[in-house]
Structure 1
Amino acid sequence: MRTKQVNFLIAFAAVVLFSFSCFCISRMTQTNNQLINCRNHILEFKENMLRLKNKTETNRQELMKTLNRMKDEIEQRENLSARLVEKKVNTSDKIETVTNAFEILKFFLPHLRKVGRIYPNVIIGKEKTGVSFALGIPTVNRGNHTYLKQTLTSIVSRMTLSEENDSVVIVSIADSNEDYVKSVVDMITKKFRKQVKSGSLEVISIPAYFYPTMLHDKESTEDSEKLERWKTKQVLDFCFLMLYAQPKAMYYLQLEDDIIAKKSYFTTITDFVHNITSNNWFSIEFSVLGFIGKLFKSADLTDFVQFFLMFYKDKPIDWLLGYIFQIKMCHPGETTEKCIERNREIRIRYKPSLFQHVGIQSSFPGREQRLKDIYY
């Protein structure tokens, strides 16, 4: 009996031990699975953190690139703004300089004192400045006759490309006839497109308010009075064009709208000016006719204009040009020969002439002008 009890206890203990072992093994397996799951979560978290870190670095780099681009754009805009401001200031300075040059007109022409800003109507122009030569060509309506296209063709076609780049041709329309103004502009924009595009050819018109009231009078039928008004207006036309051209170039060459030029005339002028040993000259004449082919230093133009304006009602402009030299160089009591000799030092004559007058119909209505330069 006792043996059976012992065996039962042993069996029971074995069952309990087995059950406990199974329970322990089950718990250990469960714990191990949890540990594995935990480790997997940790690895997954680690991987997520690594991806997040990589993504953050990528985002940081993109952000830096974006910031750098924004910085570059801001700098470019600031530089552009600075250049635009500088250009605006420079343009304003140029306009202000020219405007100030025109202010001397108010001293001699009282009716302009009521005008604020005196400035031509710039029809075609690119504000070309800093060149060696400005060539001025005033033009007026001659009715059914016109020589301007022939003149411009001769002037611009006989320049080299470098000479064209170092000069500006200014056509000044001194006529209020709207049809004539339109015809000049249309002709120039079609026939001389390259020069217009490069800024080497400009077209301006003189505003009607510039002229004194007496020049607007159309009532007089006396030819002598009309001729006097025509001569007076011509002096003012030249003065206005000179003042506009002065700040553009070192030298100013006065031409007319009915002339032709010799081949290589511009090269000849340039070489002659550069080879003059003395800088005391006031003008160089490349034609003996009227006011054609007269070269001035731009720095001296204001003095010439002031003298012309003092006597614009009294004499034609070519006469006034002779008088200014006589006043400058002739002393009371000296011989005429001595005066002429000194006059030649500042009023240089170049031969042969480089320009020829070809117009027949004068700008004065109904009058013919057949003058030719015998030294051409």
Structure 2
Amino acid sequence: MQISPGRTNHLETFKNLQKNLELLKNVNSRILIGAPPMKKKLLTIGISSVQHPSGSYLLDTLQSLFFASSSSEQKHFIVLVHLADPDPKWLGQMISSISTLFKPYIQTRQLVVINTPLKNYLLLKDLKKNFHTTPAYEAFHSKQTMDYAFLMNFATNHSDYFLMIEDDVKCAPGFVTQIATIVSAWENKRWMTLNFSQLGFTGKLFRTRDLPCLVHFLLLFYQEMPYDYLLTHFHELFMQPTPIQFFPSLFQHRGNYSFFDSKFKFKDKEIEENDPGSPSNPAASIYTSLKVANGSVLMNAYSLDKNFFYTKSAEAGSHLTVVLDVPAKVFQVQVLTGSHLKNKNQLEEGQVELGYDATNRVNDCDDYILLGLLENGTLNKQVLSNESGKKVKCVRLLVTATPPSGIIVRHINLWIK
């Protein structure tokens, strides 16, 4: 059956076709590494990966996923990897590398790796020819669609939500918290997919209860067109014709490789257009309730050189506040704590707030809003448009739990319009 956007009875036809689909009854995706969690999680992060002619970014992507998440965030998600290439040599190499590099996450049931034998796949020869492409191109994208389908089929029972990313991405720090916050706000609204990236299948969030329906759809029409086009039609079937897109994007592609066509671009336009360049750090004063260590200079926390500020101890509720001489429209804030060499003296429990002032205070503001929590001692976040309508006067780093040792504040960087 050919999908046509002009048809009005798609949904009913699709539901009837679902009843006759026998393929999934015979699918036997096997676990290569790890074990599913004992209890249901908030989120499953799914990745499907095959060999790439220009090298693999999968290990870097896995590292980015865990490094961009705090220990408290990691309790709420699992990572599910589908090694979808049948080459036994490549499979062996990837199994060995993942087992060695990510052993702690495997032991805590946070990382599961699966494979689906090629005999479970549908026909990959004499496929329908679409878009005037080559048979090799059709076979690759048809198999890729089934790779994703089998991955999602395995993921249906382990969490409330499923996030699809590709195997060559870099994750924004704190992306789990940002997604959880938005999911909470959209919990009672009608949606099929929430988009946290504009790139292919990366950053696409689904309710796991909707996955069986999407899996059937992909397997029914795997020959028709690539998966991203199929996803557009899937949305039309279920009355979500307009993408629900959130900014800034939480994922960015690392590489530019393509199997068949150099015309395909792998950079997120939204990310490229919002590359902030060098920080501005306009003239400001700094105030703190932290104890300044001997020889340390408070202003070093805001300087654009390699100097830093150090305090031997900190208590919950203490702060370091940058007060701008002239309030400005701040569109991005970066806070870096800890030694950049050994990751020591990080502020693990802290948050960053933006301050506004209506009463002309000299060294503080009378109204603060939360910008974000530190993740692994850092925050790097764009200020959303509804917040940036007002001019920011203060940027406050607040300690929310007493750290076990002293902290280093390397940089508080601001970008202004």
TM-score, scaled to structure 2 = 0.56
Deviations 1:68-115 (A, max 9, x none): xxxxxxxxxxxxxxxxxxxxxxxxxxxxxxxxxxxx9994466x77x5
2:30 partner amino acid: N
One of 227, 232, 240 as aligned partner of 2:150: 240
- CA distance 1:134–1:196, change in 2 (3 Å): same
Residue 57 of structure 2 is matched in structure 1 by 147
Q: For 1:1-376, what aligned pairs fall within 5 Å after superposition?
A: 107-108=20-21, 115=26, 118-128=27-37, 129-214=39-124, 224-276=134-186, 278-329=188-239, 343-344=241-242, 347-362=243-258, 364=259, 369-376=264-271
Judge conservation of contact 2:193–2:205 (CA < 8 Å) in 1. Answer: yes
Give unpaired runs (5+ residues) of structure 1. Answer: 1-103, 330-341
TM-score, scaled to structure 1 = 0.62
Deviations 1:199-223 (A, max 9, x none): 1011111111111343599xxxx97
Judge conservation of contact 1:359–1:369 (CA < 8 Å) in 2. Answer: no
Judge conservation of contact 1:247–1:298 (CA < 8 Å) in 2. Answer: yes
**Secondary structure in 2 aligned to 1:309?**
helix
| Total equivalences in the alignment | 250
2:255 partner amino acid: G
- CA distance 1:375–1:135, change in 2 (3 Å): same
Judge conservation of contact 1:109–1:212 (CA < 8 Å) in 2. Answer: no
Distance 1:313 1:216 in 2: 10
Judge conservation of contact 2:137–2:260 (CA < 8 Å) in 1. Answer: no
Judge conservation of contact 1:361–1:368 (CA < 8 Å) in 2. Answer: no
Judge conservation of contact 2:232–2:241 (CA < 8 Å) in 1. Answer: no
How far off its partner does 1:121 sit?
Answer: 1.8
2:147 partner amino acid: D
Larger Rg: 1
How far off its partner does 1:265 sit?
Answer: 1.0
**Secondary structure in 1 aligned to 2:269?**
coil
% identical equivalent positions: 30
Distance 1:200 1:107 in 2: 35
Deviations 1:270-324 (A, max 9, x none): 1111122633111100011111110000001111112222211001111111112
Give unpaired runs (5+ residues) of structure 2. Answer: 1-16, 272-417
How far off its partner does 1:184 sit?
Answer: 1.0
Judge conservation of contact 2:29–2:117 (CA < 8 Å) in 1. Answer: yes
**Secondary structure in 2 aligned to 1:343?**
coil
How far off its partner does 1:360 sit?
Answer: 2.0
**Secondary structure in 1 aligned to 2:155?**
helix
Which of the pair is proportionally richer in strand?
Answer: 2
Distance 2:108 2:18 in 1: 31
Distance 2:264 2:211 in 1: 28
Residue 79 of structure 1 is matched in structure 2 by none
How far off its partner does 1:164 sit?
Answer: 1.1
How far off its partner does 1:352 sit?
Answer: 1.0
- CA distance 1:215–1:162, change in 2 (3 Å): farther
**Secondary structure in 2 aligned to 1:214?**
coil
**Secondary structure in 1 aligned to 2:147?**
helix
**Secondary structure in 2 aligned to 1:247?**
coil
Judge conservation of contact 2:192–2:238 (CA < 8 Å) in 1. Answer: no
Residue 11 of structure 1 is matched in structure 2 by none
Distance 2:18 2:114 in 1: 18
Distance 1:324 1:213 in 2: 22
- CA distance 1:140–1:274, change in 2 (3 Å): same
Distance 1:319 1:251 in 2: 22
- CA distance 1:277–1:106, change in 2 (3 Å): closer
**Secondary structure in 1 aligned to 2:211?**
helix
**Secondary structure in 1 aligned to 2:45?**
strand
**Secondary structure in 2 aligned to 1:254?**
strand
Judge conservation of contact 1:287–1:293 (CA < 8 Å) in 2. Answer: yes
Deviations 1:303-354 (A, max 9, x none): 111222221100111111111222332xxxxxxxxxxxx634xx42111111
Measured on the aligned residues, the alpha-carbon RMSD in Å equals 2.5
Residue 53 of structure 1 is matched in structure 2 by none
